[in-house]
């Protein structure tokens, strides 16, 4: 079940982050922001068990957002945040990654950084998508490393 987006130029241009565009609810935006922080701390790649532990901590209210504990149900995290980010292509699922410590391939969630042109298209959906993707990329600018 995907959520309905208010995909207007005014909303996209006035939004501070991509999360304000993707998630209309403030509490969901806060939980998504914490998830983005978690992804950044892990260089954009997290295992399914790491995501599960994150969702548990979020549900127990152990994570702080703007200095206050935020409680967000595990079910809502998976259905609303993770599922929508995967469905819209912002996060890739089951990306094979070599784990040197285990000497095995591990399948992880990985952030998708979009390769976009320097100038936006002139009109239409692609112009809006350009600005949304640009705002998404900016969430991870300082975590991008050459591998």
Who wins on pLDDT, 7 or 95?
A: 95
More confident call, 16 vs 145: 16
Is 147's pLDDT higher than 50? Answer: no
Buried b vs exposed e over 113-126: b needs ≥16 C-beta within 10 Å? beeeeeeeeeeeee
Q: Is it the case that residue 98 has pLDDT exceeding 70?
A: yes
**Residue 40 counted as domain residue:** yes
Residue 6 has what pLDDT? 64
Interval 23-80: pLDDT, tens: 989 999 999 999 999 999 999 999 999 999 999 999 999 999 999 999 999 999 999 9
Residue 81 lies in a domain: yes
Q: Is residue 90 part of a domain?
A: yes
What is the domain extent for residue 73?
Answer: 18-112
Q: Is residue 117 part of a domain?
A: no
Looking at the structure of the chain, the number of domains it has is 1
In the predicted structure, residue 95 carries a pLDDT above the cut 70: yes
Task: Please indicate, yes or no, if residue 120 is contained in any of the structural domains.
Answer: no
Q: Does pLDDT of 5 surpass 80?
A: no
Chain segment 108-133, per-residue pLDDT in tens? 999 999 999 999 888 888 999 999 99
The verdict on residue 24 lying in a domain is: yes
Residue 145 lies in a domain: no
Q: Has residue 39 been placed in a domain?
A: yes
């Amino acid at each position: 079940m995907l959520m309905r987006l208010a995909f207007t130029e005014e909303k996209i241009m006035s939004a501070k982050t991509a999360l304000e565009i993707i998630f209309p609810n403030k509490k969901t935006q806060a939980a998504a922001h914490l998830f983005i922080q978690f992804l950044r701390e892990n260089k954009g790649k997290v295992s399914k068990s790491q995501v599960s532990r994150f969702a548990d901590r979020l549900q127990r209210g152990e994570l702080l957002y703007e200095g206050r504990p935020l409680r967000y149900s595990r079910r809502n995290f998976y259905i609303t945040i993770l599922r929508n980010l995967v469905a819209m292509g912002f996060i890739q699922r089951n990306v094979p990654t070599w784990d040197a410590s285990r000497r095995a391939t591990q399948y992880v969630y990985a952030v998708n950084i979009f390769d976009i042109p320097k100038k936006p298209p002139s009109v239409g959906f692609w112009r809006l998508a350009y600005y949304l993707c640009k705002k998404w990329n900016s969430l991870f600018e300082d975590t991008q490393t050459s591998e």
